[in-house]
Amino acid sequence: MAKAKFETPELSEYTEVPKIEEGVMAHLSPFVAAPAHQEPLGFPGEKVENWQEVAIEKMGDLLSRYRSFQVYMDACVKCGSCTDKCHYFLSTKDPKNMPVGRQDLLRRVYRRYFTFAGKYFPKLVGAVDLTDEVLDEWYSYFHQCSQCRRCSVFCPYGIDTAEISMAAREIMAQIGVGQKYCNEIIAKVFTVGNNLGLPGPALADTLEGLEEDVYDDTEVAVKYPLDKKGVDILLVTPSADFFAEPHVDG
């Protein structure tokens, strides 16, 4: 197998923080989920007309159910410890890809609708209304977070950007603006029974192939029953086995 030629970058004692470039990644966003991906999960198929009202209601629901979410919204002191820990910011230079910058996209709206100061003195606390422009920023930047949680390790307050990103994504899915890749896969689990969307005959054919492989290697006839009640062992095969044979060299 051919090996890629690349140079391993030298590690320095301190991370070099790049100069910021405002809005350089604002244009990047994933495909929006189709109704077929949204509706099996209980989400509206398209963006609802009263989406601002639904979004604020959903945010309030998450705040009431997850105490940690509200703590994360209130606790940040903008110390910047997370800034150079995010690989998305280091590689894109976009300040809204800083963990604190990404959090603030949601935090500004939280302050506007759920804090006294934000309701009556929004400009003093950086609170903003939930508008189409704000929603576009949410959809772009909250899907540029891989939720690795590296920033939370270095945050002195333990703020979990991953949980904030998940909350934002759930709010967007609730108003009909879900992400195609994730929601399509999860919808297949709900409607078909597996993340690849493979029908039963395809699964049965794969198991028959495994039986033949085992016999060729061991000369032992082993059967892999499908959907049998009362069996002792559950065999979960890698998804790659349905499309290729990665264990076979060449």
Assign 244 a pLDDT band (cuts: 50, 70, 90): low
DSSP helix/strand/coil, 32: strand
**pLDDT above 70: residue 127:** yes
Longest dimension (CA), the chain: 78
Does 248 reside within a domain?
Answer: no
Number of domains in the chain: 2
Whether 168 and 220 share a structural domain: no
Specify whether 230 is located in the same domain as 113.
no
**Residue 232 counted as domain residue:** yes
Does 70 fall in a domain?
A: yes
Residue 1 lies in a domain: no
The predicted model scores a pTM of: 0.81
Q: Are residues 118 and 223 in the same domain?
A: no
Tens-digit pLDDT profile for residues 14-63: 777 888 999 999 999 999 999 999 999 999 999 999 999 999 999 999 99
For residue 50, give the 3-state DSSP assignment: coil
Model confidence pLDDT, tens digit, residues 200-223: 888 888 788 888 989 999 999 988
Domain containing 224 equals 200-242
Q: Yes or no: say if 178 and 33 are a contact pair by the CB < 8 Å rule.
A: yes
147 and 44 co-located in one domain = yes
69 and 123 assigned to the same domain: yes
Lowest-confidence pick of 119-133, 136-150, 220-234: 220-234
Q: Which residue has the tokens 């609802």?
A: 48
Query: Residues near 212 by Cβ (< 8 Å), separated by ≥ 6?
Result: none
Beta pairing partners, 179? 32
* 104 in any annotated domain: yes
Q: Which CATH number fits the domain that encloses residue 60?
A: 1.10.1060
Is residue 237 predicted with pLDDT exceeding 70? no
What is the pLDDT, as a whole number, of residue 250?
44
Q: Cα–Cα distance between 117 and 237 in angstroms, integer?
A: 54
List of residues 6+ apart from 169 with CB closer than 8 A: 142, 143, 178, 179, 182
Please answer whether residues 175 and 54 qualify as being in contact, where contact means their C-beta atoms are separated by less than 8 angstroms: yes
Q: What is 134-196 written as a DSSP string?
A: HHHHHHHHTTS-----HHHHH-TT---HHHHHHHHHHHHHHTT--BHHHHHHHHHHHHTSSTT
Distance separating the N- and C-terminal Cα atoms of the chain: 8
Q: What is the structure's pLDDT at 3?
A: 72
Residue for token pair 């032992």: 220
Considering the domain architecture, whether residues 232 and 171 belong to the same structural domain is answered as no
User: In the predicted model, is pLDDT for residue 245 greater than 60?
Assistant: no
pLDDT in tens, 48-104: 999 999 999 999 999 999 999 999 999 999 999 999 899 999 999 999 999 999 999
Q: What is the pLDDT of residue 215?
A: 92
Whether 30 maps to a domain, the answer reads no
Q: In sequence order, which residues have a C-beta less than 8 Å from that of residue 128 and are 6 or more positions away? A: 108, 109, 112, 122, 134
Same domain assignment for residues 171 and 140: yes
Q: Are residues 68 and 141 in the same domain?
A: yes
Same domain, 118 and 230: no
The reply to whether 29 falls in a domain is no
- Residue 223 domain-assigned (yes or no): yes
Q: Domain check: are 72 and 152 in the same one?
A: yes
Kindly state whether residues 153 and 185 are assigned to the same domain.
Answer: yes
Residues 85 and 178 in one domain: yes
